[in-house]
Amino acid sequence: MNANPPSEIRLHKKSSTLELMFVNDIEYQLSAEYLRVHSPSAEVRGHGQGQEILQTGKRQVKLLNIEPIGNYAVKLIFDDGHESGIYSWHYLHELCTNKDVLWKAYVSKLKAKGASRDELPPGVQVVKIRPISSD
């Protein structure tokens, strides 16, 4: 599905946010973490339904650059080495307009898996222990 391109895209490197303005003059601000965990790449989405890979430890990820892809998308370059996602105008608009719902769903998935938005040091593993109920 085609969508109108944003009239303006600004990368704020200091805050690592992407600011998008669409024809309706509504501005959207998307964090690098939000964009990274919702990357349209196969690395994140997998190769089909049910093959999604939950992205963890991305709270501190930074956006380094934006590269235009023809007249239909941009490629975002992140400091964790991820650069394979092609964000079409339609997908960016979807990320903007559904931000709250998508973010809540992501945080719920993290919680359900006992995962974190923060990266753990190498060699550290977290094990969730259920309290023993006393009857």
Q: What is the pLDDT of residues 54-95, one digit of tens each?
A: 999 999 999 999 999 999 999 999 999 999 999 999 999 999
For the stretch 109-126, pLDDT in tens is 999 999 999 976 556 555
Predicted TM-score (pTM) of this structure: 0.85
Work out the angle at residue 97's Cα, subtended by the Cα atoms of residues 96 and 102, and round it to the nearest 5 degrees: 80
Residue 86 to residue 103: CA distance in whole angstroms: 20
Residue 97 to residue 94: CA distance in whole angstroms: 5
Share of the chain above pLDDT 90, in %: 70
Domain positions in the chain? 8-113
CATH assignment, 8-113: 3.30.2020.30
